[in-house]
Each structure stands twice: as C-alpha cells, then as structure tokens.
Structure 1
C-alpha cells in the first residue's frame, strides 16, 4: 500500500526566544505576521535537468515562533538510488518502493505550503527541483517568495560564530534541538532553528520586517537602519524624494513609483553603495514630492538635480555642460564646436554630453565633406572667389576645397555645404557610405585599428544625428497632448510644449475625460520655444518624454504643429551600431580574466 504524506498540526512553541521581540517596526511586513514554510529535499543527485529525482520531502510551517504543522513523505524515484546516496541519507530502494510518486507528492506539498514564504538552506537547489517537476507536470508554480538561510547566514555569521555556513555548523552554533542527518524532516526542523536564530540576531540590528530580512547586508550599519523612521511619512505613490542634511542642503535626489518603499530600502540593505551609505549617515530629513505619474516624477528628478546639484548624485547634475556642432552662417561656412545654441539661423547637431564624442562626430563629417576647418574670417570677393592666401596642409592633402586661396568658386563650395546640411538634417547616407567604404578598404589591408577609429566616428555621428532629428521634431511642436491607459486602469495624460513637460495628470474614475484634458491644458505651464532646434528643456528631459510618447498604448489627443521625423533619417542606421556596441561590451579582454574560469593544468 502506498505511503501517504504525513501532516501534523499543532500550536506548540518552537525553542527560540525570537518570539519575545514584539516591538516590530510597521514599515513592511512584520516578521511575526509571516507564515514560513521551511522545506528540505533528499534527492538521487544534484541536477533535476540531469535526471536526478526527489526521494523525500520534509517541511515545517511556523509563524511568530509557533509550530503550525509538519509535512513529510518519501517519494518513489522510479529509479535505483545510487549506493553512495543511500549511505548518505539512509534512504534505500526498499523504503521508497511503496512511496507515492512525485506526481502525487508534489501537489500535496504545494497545498501544505500555499500562502507561505518558502525557506530552505541553499534554496536554489530545493526550490529548483520543486519548480522543475512542477513544470514537468504542467502545473503552474505558485508565486512563492523565497528566503535562503544559507545566503542570509553568509551575511551575518563570522568565523568566530561558526567555521562555515553548512546547516550542521549553523545548527550547532545556534543550539538547535535537532541535529541534521540528511533526512528531509530532520533537516527542515534544524533549518527552522537556524532561521529563528538568525532572526533573533538580526532583530538586535533593527531588522524586523520580511523586506529587511530578505535584503539584509552587513555593509549597512546599525546607525543607518535606525533612520528608517524617516520613510514613515512618505506615501505609497510615484514621486521624487530629497535627502537633506541638518542645514537643509539637498544631498541626493531620486525617484520611484513607490516613494515609501524605495526610501525605506536605503535603511535596510537594498542600497549598499558605500557613498550612499555615507549620504544616509549625514541625512536628517527626507522630503517627498508626490507626482501624478511616473513620467512627471522622472522629469522633476532631472530638474531638481540640475537646480540643487546634490553632491551624491553622479548623473544629470550639469545639463548645461554640453557641446554642439554648428554649421556656421557666413560667406564660406564651416563646422565649429560650440557650447551653446544661438538664435542665429545656423544649423546645429547635438547636444553632446562629452566633448570627446563631439570631436569624433566632427571628424566623421570632415572625413566626408572637404569644407574648410580653419577659424579665420574669409570675406567673399564680389568679383569671384576669395584669394590671396597660402593654402593649408589639408588643402594639399585634398581634404579642403581651400576657399582661402581661390581654389574653389562660391557656387561649388555652396553645393558641398548644401549636401552637408542635408546630411545633418535629413539624410545621413553620404557620411555612412563614405566611411563604410573607407573601413572596408582599411580592413582589406588588415589595418584594423584605423578601421576601428572610423567605426567609432561613424557611430558617434549616427547617434548624434538621430538624437538631433528626434529632439528637433518634438521641439517644433507648440503642443502635444497624449494619454495612455495605465496598469491601474486609469488614463495618464501629459501636455508637452516645445519638448518640455508642461502638465501631467491622471483622469479620476468616472470623470469626464474631455473636461479633464481641457482643464489640464489650461493650467499647464506656459513654454516659450528655445533657440534653433534646442528643446525648451534639457535634452535628457525631452528624451524621457519622447520615450513615453513612443511607448505602446499611447493615444495622441491633440498635436499642434507637425510631429514628424525624416523617413530616410539617421534613426534607421542605429540598430547596426547599437548591436556592434553591445557585442563589444560583452567581450572579455585578454588582459582581464576575471570573467573567465580558472585553468587547471596537471603537474609535471
């Protein structure tokens, strides 16, 4: 007769003093309210995918230090148990011959564990086996949260506490009443005592919720955890948070879809960057700004970082420190690297956050178009081309049309400039084709380093041209109103003017959508266009707005102006260069073997 799984119920107390700690912080889910199901498996080997089978399941259910029930069953693996496994576990072929198969044992265990947080010592092993056989049976895996006592112990236990983090060593260190013996229920009972011992130790360090327990790290100081009350007044809503010091100076600005949860993580262990730990140590106040939508929060974050320039923010602090490539408006136009855009009817490419990248892009254009590179003012001779000067080295190399010495007439030079302007604004094919041909020739000659230089120049140009064309398209529109149906069933609405987010809102349930949008537009910020193609906001802000406008499910409510990008523009060339860059990032340099496995050679 097949053995049935044994399930025991009871209310007896587990042998731990953890239950006496009742002053739990209400941030997150208090540990006293969590039902844990501690599970352990015995198997015929180390890999379910490799053919190993489960031979025993043992589990203990606890909450608040109370034992709620136990589960134990042998499992018929339908295969011989290897001798060394039988010696290790004491489970023999005869013992499992009448046991239920995994098709019966697994559903019984899942019913026992329903609604619990799964706990295991080396959880990837045990949970991996259970998930594998659930998939084999076509059974949906429940959305268990999982806690690994081995991983947690490695963050808590020192060499003075135990020689290692094996279950047997930890059970001894915490004085478990059960000695692990490679039988599933015994090992699960020992793991319960280890779990309670870890909780008791961490309770003294301010860890009182499941979230804090899951993310605990010894790198987060006790003083840091004691500041978790700074998150109590924040809402569970999207917005921006500002850490301030005792003089109200802004130390750090961040954003989140859930302000309270994100800020709370700074005081547990989700945030372990050393400089952020230093910032939290200085902070005395956390201010929250609730926003209607996640996009509004992201935009506010950028604006606040630019305004306050917090020393602990590394990105977006100096949006004004950018570069542009300018095609000048003068008798003999040239390309110039400038720091700002003027309302001078010139053509601009950018902005570039890095001068080095701007210089690569400039080199790509000079490689293709032989316009002058000198900064001299050259007057146009009313009777013909400019003259009277000595040509430069670039002219002798046929890389400059050399208007300075009269080598080119104004009409020919203007035709080249028109091609260049068309490349910047509409169609980059001439630069792409010219540099691709040059790279191919260099590769044929095995001059790969030189070819790589031209590849990087071309990539810098394509990205800059695509960015400029996309930003300029939205900037030209006096107003764009768009809406999207969000996950919570409500409609998020944004008003964008000249590339700047002017208003954001969420239509309340049952409200008149048309009236809401009209009111939102009337209350939106007045935005004046920026000079030339530059948006009336930072490029980073407008790119965030663009990503939202281009996301799935967007409905355009109204567009004032024409929001269009060139069909033959630079964006169509991006995929190739992004793929090349991604492949380069995935390579492991020969000089850096940290990502490679060690090589073992036999001794001679």
Structure 2
C-alpha cells in the first residue's frame, strides 16, 4: 500500500484558538538609537530593553554600541550620543548575541516597540550582517495600537512623548534607548488596560487589533458566555434562525468571544455582528469531526458571510468521453459513465488550462462531430479534400488536422485503432502516469526559454501545473473512495482520536480514553458508524474537500492504521510524483475547496 502524502486543504479560515493570556506573556519592550533611518546604511548606537510580565518589571538591558561609522551631527543633537561616548563601547557583533539571549529567556516572549518596523528592521539587518538567524518573535507595535484606539480628538498625535504624557509615564522619553523603552512600557500597559473591557485578553488578540469593537460587537458579547470550552462547530444565526456564518474551533467559547472584540477586524464579520441574535454550538469529539462538520454545514446552508466552501457544486472537471472517438470536455459534474475525470477545479478557466495541457501532449480530436467508424475515405464531387459522411452530409477536416495537430479521424485518415491508442494514452495520463504530458511541456518550456519567449513558456508552465493539480487530486480522492472501510487512530492528549472512514466519507469518530477496553471501544465505534455504499467517480460519497481533510489526517506521521478492508493504493508513477510542479503557477491552478 502506498500511503498518501499531505496536501494543503483550505477550508474556513479563522484566527484559531487564541491561547496566550496577556498576563502570562513576557513582553520585551525595546528601543534603539541609530546613526540614521535606513537599516541597510545606518548602524545601531544604543540598545535599551525592559522585560515585563504581569505588569511587573523583570529585568533591563542597556548598552551603547560602537557603530563603526561616524555619527552625524544631527543625530548627536537629537540623542546626545557623541562619537567619544561610543568609542569604547562594544561593537554590534558583541552586543547582538546578548540582545537575542535577553529576548530568548522565555518561550512566551513578545517583542514590543513604538514604531516596531523601525527597530525590528535594524535588528534583522544586523543579524543578516552577522550571519545570525532572526528568530521571528511575535511583535506588538504600540504606535499601531495607539492609532487604532486613540482618536486624534483624544490625543493631538501618536508620538511616544505625547502618549507617555497621556498615560502618566514616570519616565519621559529623551531619545535615549532605555528611557524610551521605559516610557513605552507605560504606554503598552495603558493600551492593554483600555483593551480589557473590549474583550482582548490574549497576545494573539492584541496583535490582531486594528480598531475598537463596534457597538454591535459589544452588545452581543454575552452570546459567548454560556458556550462550552470544548472543540466543535459554531453557527451564528439571525432573528429568524437562519445561518449567517459557520466556523470551528478547539475552544468554542473563546473563539466565539473573539468575534465581539477589537481583535476582529474583517469588515464583513463586523457587519454580521449587527445581525447576529444567537450562536448554536455543536460539540465534536475530534478535531477532524469538527472540520468535516463545518464543511458539510457550510455546503448545506450556504451562510452568506462565509466566503469559502459555500458552493462546492460550482466546480469543473475535465472528462475524457467514452464514445468511439473520445475527446476532452470540461463538465460540471461526474456521472456514472465509466469515463476518466480529473479535478475538481475551482474555475472553468483552470480546467481549460488542464485540458489544453493534455491536448498539447496527445493529439485528440477537438471537434464536436460524431464520426462513424470509417469504412474508407471519400472525396467531394470536385475531387478535393477527404470527407466522411456525417448524418447524411459531408464534413471537411478541421484546421487542426490541416496543421498536423489532429490525426483527422473525421475523414478516415487516422484509423480507429490508431486513435484509440491516443485515447488510451490520455486516460493513462489522467488516472496513472502523467510522464508523457510532463515531458512534452518541459521540453517545450525549455525551447521557448532558450529563445527568450518567456511569456509563452509561462503559459505552458501554467497549463502543466493545472493538469497536474487536477490529476493529483482525482487520483488521491479515487484511491481513498475505493476503500470500503478504514479505521485509524492518532494520539490526542491522553487519549486516541479514532475515526472510521468509508468510501472517502467520515462515518464515525470518537476518542479512546485511558482505562477503556480498546477492543470493546473499536467494536462499538465500527458498529454504530454510518453505512456508506460504494459510488462512482473520484469522490462519490463525500465532498472532495471532506475527503481531502481525511487524507491530510491519515497522512499525519502520528496517525496509525487500525484496520482496513480492500486496498488503499495509488499509482507509483502518479501525478503525486510531480507534486512540486503544481506550484509553478503560484496558486493559479489551485483545485477547488
């Protein structure tokens, strides 16, 4: 059995579980003095940092830095730092490791600065010059927060000195690093106090703040109070009980509460807050169950404020027809006709690209005629081009045949046997090994690139990526949907998250808790699981997005197969082997979700 690899599956985006309480976060408030404003040209002259947690100062760091360059007179006038002051100071290569160690002391550390892009830009540039990796700390910018929370009518501007005075900071900013860092601590605490009544209580929420919550958000904050702190799906409803928005979370109460705080900045969601009258929680036993339920509910109810996954039926497939002379067609649905399909695609345009990619490698007919099996060639009355009787008339070969891009089965030039070989090659590329398509396009891309015809080469690249994306998706879905019964488990905390999958559909899920008899648990779960009959096509009994969620879960290295009926296989030389090429189109060939 060839195990499937993980694929990125986009379902409903969310902030996730907002989990680092502000009281438990270590803030390192930092300020730099420099020789100028350009991080690539100027250098650091002083570093000041204050470490605080829970409103208390834990430690401080302050040092001058020898910039290795002259300090402009204007900078000396502004900061008071002279050339003689830094002459005996340590260079940045000695200071930078100490700064990084100061930041790394606590795993729940966030870097804070006023106009943070300036300070982080200089630190990143210094790390790059010293060959050090910038650790990528979560950053809080007090300037951005102040602009979001304090209107100009309340403060005349958002400079550090103005805000320090507004919040009564004991230290006045002086363009010296430690003094400015201390003043920024007071500003940070003042902003956090203002955000508390707005429902912002975690680092993730703090970093998401762009503006205060609306009156409608504040008025509906109580809707989260009675929700369970358990994983599941939540459904926002209006006064008539109609669904407005559906999401999922590992903590229903915390996630729903975030929609009514300053951390929620999406315009559509803020608009929705004025319509919400209730929240329906659906507690789920496993994370996979929550993801699947969310997808199913969105597809069923089509809530107006969900952007993704709302219309899974609006997809396109590329089909190889099953008539005597098969051709490629872009269709909206998979039928029980035994035809090979690839997809689905989010747009017909991507499906057309995939179709064109296959036609470039395999000379299938593109006309809509229905040729009879030719008994021989015919001629027009004037003895010109070959034609074949079609419905009592005669049709001339198309332009593609004249250009040599089609074998012209319509006039009998290409035999049924020869054409069938082309159709079989197309079917193999769709359902098995796409090497023929890959080779044809990569060769042509190389030729065009050598001739400096880059736009044409990019077109071939995008068509190939579209074809491989759809073929890979259909092959993975088909492999899973062919399995009548599968049980797998993954450790979740102290228990084992166990799921039953039948023909690509989640049939049951539960968590095996410590002390429970595994055999009895498994027997009960399997006996009560949904009965799912076999079907036709790549994803006959579930939304393609649901089957892909299951595939991702199964591909997790921590997941263990418990039992399986039938075979879960995928062609060894399948589109999966060329997965990296699907990224060529930079997302343009992304399959439907």
Shared fold (TM-score, shorter chain, > 0.5): yes
Matches within 5 A, 1:128-527: 148-174=141-167, 176=169, 179-182=172-175, 187=180, 190-191=183-184, 193-195=186-188, 197-198=190-191, 201-202=194-195, 213-218=206-211, 220-380=213-373, 387-388=388-389, 389-393=394-398, 394-486=400-492, 488-527=493-532
Structure-2 change in CA distance of 1:127 and 1:515 (3 Å): farther
2:44–2:67 CA contact under 8 A, matched in 1: no
- What's the secondary structure of 2:585's corresponding residue? helix
TM-score, normalization: structure 2? Answer: 0.77
Structure-2 change in CA distance of 1:551 and 1:363 (3 Å): same
2:210–2:265 CA contact under 8 A, matched in 1: yes
RMSD: 4.6
2:199–2:258 CA contact under 8 A, matched in 1: no
- What's the secondary structure of 1:480's corresponding residue? strand
Aligned-residue offset at 1:278: 0.6
- What's the secondary structure of 1:282's corresponding residue? coil
Work out whether 1:529 is the aligned partner of 2:522.
no
Q: Which runs of 5+ in 1 are unaligned?
A: 1-26, 135-140, 586-604
Structure-2 change in CA distance of 1:59 and 1:562 (3 Å): closer
Q: Which whole-Å deviations, capped at 9, do the CAs of 1:54-107 have from their partners, x for residues lacking one?
A: 5766678874xxxx67977865768999696776566897999999x9899989
Aligned-residue offset at 1:498: 0.8
Aligned-residue offset at 1:425: 1.8
Work out whether 1:581 is the aligned partner of 2:574.
no
Aligned-residue offset at 1:327: 2.3
Q: Whose radius of gyration is greater, 1 or 2? A: 1
CA distance in 2, matches of 1:130, 1:577: 36
TM-score, normalization: structure 1? Answer: 0.75
Structure-2 change in CA distance of 1:583 and 1:50 (3 Å): farther
Paired residue total:
550
Aligned-residue offset at 1:353: 2.6
1:41–1:58 CA contact under 8 A, matched in 2: no
Structure-2 change in CA distance of 1:48 and 1:114 (3 Å): farther
Partner of 1:569: 574
CA distance in 1, matches of 2:325, 2:419: 8
CA distance in 1, matches of 2:275, 2:538: 42
Aligned-residue offset at 1:571: 1.8
Aligned-residue offset at 1:527: 0.7
Moved more, 525-534 or 440-449: 440-449
Q: Which whole-Å deviations, capped at 9, do the CAs of 1:270-303 have from their partners, x for residues lacking one?
A: 3211111111221111222122222211111110
Partner of 2:7: none
Structure-2 change in CA distance of 1:514 and 1:479 (3 Å): same
CA distance in 2, matches of 1:230, 1:279: 14
Structure-2 change in CA distance of 1:399 and 1:56 (3 Å): closer
1:55–1:76 CA contact under 8 A, matched in 2: yes
Q: Which whole-Å deviations, capped at 9, do the CAs of 1:494-528 have from their partners, x for residues lacking one?
A: 21111111112221123233332222111111111
Higher relative contact order, chain-length normalized (CA < 8 Å, sep 6+): 2
